[in-house]
C-alpha cells in the first residue's frame, strides 16, 4: 500500500527544516548503507547523529504525530529517527530493497522496517530527475511530490531514485515498525477506518452503526497489534 501524505509540513515548518539542514555539513550517503545499497547509492547525507539532523528530525516527528492520515495508514509502533539526503546532478540510488532490520549505532534501538517514508523538501520544479520509482503489484509507481508532502510505502518493495539531470533533490527518509506486522491486515484496518470516518461525517458519531463499526475496528486492532 502506497499512501501520499499531503502537506505534512506547513510552509513555516518546511522553511525551518531547510534552514537547519542547509547550514549543516553533508557527507557521503553510504555512511548508513548496507553492502547491497552501497553498490547502488550515489548521494550525500547529513551525519545521523549531528545536531542538525536531530533538530530537523524532531520537527518532522512532531508533524507526523499531528497527521491523522499518517497514523491511520501506518499505525506506527517505533519510528527510526529521520535522516536527510541530497542528490545533485548525476547522482542517483539504483534499484534496491531496504534492510529488514534497522539498528541505530551506539544505542539499544532497532526496528523491523515494515514501512519506508520519504518527505520531499525541495519543490519539484527546482530539479529534473530524482523521481522515486516504487515497484508494487500494479507495476511501477512514480512519485515526485511537492515540498512538504510525504509518501509511505512498503519497505519490502524494490525502489530507486532516478538520476538528477538539473538542480538538487533534498528529502528526509526513514523507516517505521508498525503495530500491525501483516500488510493486508494493516490495509484492512485502514480501509475500515476511512469508512468509519465517512459514516461519522454522514450520520454523526452517536449513530449505532458507527459505534458498532468502531468497536469492530478496535477489536481487530487488539487481535492483530504488537505492543
Give the global pTM.
0.93
* Cβ atoms 150, 4 nearer than 8 A: yes
Residue 34 banded pLDDT, cuts 50, 70, 90: low
pLDDT surpasses 90 at 29? no
Determine the average pLDDT of the residues in 116-129: 98
Supply the mean pLDDT for the chain: 94
Cell triple for residue 13?
Answer: 515548518
pLDDT of residue 39: 66
Determine the average pLDDT of the residues in 147-172: 97
How far separated are the first and last CA of the chain, in Å rounded?
Answer: 22
Percent of the chain with pLDDT over 70: 96
Determine the average pLDDT of the residues in 88-95: 95
Q: According to CATH, where is 2.60.120.620 located in the chain? A: 3-178
CATH class of 183-224: few secondary structures
pLDDT of residue 226: 87
Q: According to CATH, where is 4.10.860 located in the chain? A: 183-224
Residue 202 banded pLDDT, cuts 50, 70, 90: confident
Q: What is the CATH number of domain 3-178?
A: 2.60.120.620
Determine the average pLDDT of the residues in 136-142: 89
CA dihedral defined by 81, 50, 162, 176, rounded to 10 degrees?
Answer: -10
Nearest to 114 by CA among 34, 174, 186, 178: 178
pLDDT surpasses 60 at 43? yes
Amino acid at each position: 500500500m502506497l499512501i501520499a501524505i499531503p502537506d505534512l509540513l506547513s510552509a513555516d515548518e518546511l522553511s525551518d527544516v531547510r534552514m537547519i539542514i542547509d547550514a549543516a555539513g553533508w557527507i557521503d550517503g553510504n555512511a548508513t548503507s548496507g553492502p547491497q545499497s552501497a553498490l547502488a547509492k550515489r548521494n550525500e547525507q547529513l551525519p545521523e547523529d549531528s545536531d542538525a539532523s536531530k533538530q530537523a528530525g524532531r520537527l518532522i516527528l512532531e508533524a507526523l504525530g499531528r497527521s491523522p492520515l499518517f497514523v491511520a495508514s501506518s499505525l506506527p509502533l517505533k519510528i527510526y529517527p529521520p535522516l536527510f539526503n541530497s542528490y545533485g546532478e548525476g547522482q542517483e540510488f539504483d534499484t534496491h530493497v531496504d534492510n529488514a532490520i534497522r539498528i541505530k549505532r551506539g544505542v539499544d534501538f532497532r526496528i523491523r522496517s515494515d514501512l519506508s517514508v520519504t518527505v520531499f523538501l525541495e519543490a519539484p520544479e527546482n530539479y529534473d530527475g530524482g523521481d522515486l520509482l516504487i515497484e508494487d503489484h500494479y507495476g511501477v509507481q512514480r512519485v515526485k511530490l511537492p515540498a512538504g508532502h510525504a509518501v509511505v510505502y512498503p519497505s519490502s518493495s524494490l525502489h530507486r531514485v532516478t538520476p538528477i539531470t538539473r538542480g538538487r533533490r533534498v528529502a528526509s527518509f526513514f523507516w517505521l515498525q508498525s503495530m500491525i506486522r501483516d500488510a493486508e491486515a494493516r490495509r484492512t484496518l485502514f480501509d475500515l477506518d476511512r469508512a468509519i470516518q465517512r459514516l461519522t461525517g454522514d450520520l454523526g458519531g452517536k449513530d449505532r452503526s458507527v459505534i458498532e463499526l468502531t468497536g469492530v475496528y478496535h477489536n481487530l486492532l487488539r487481535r492483530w497489534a504488537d505492543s
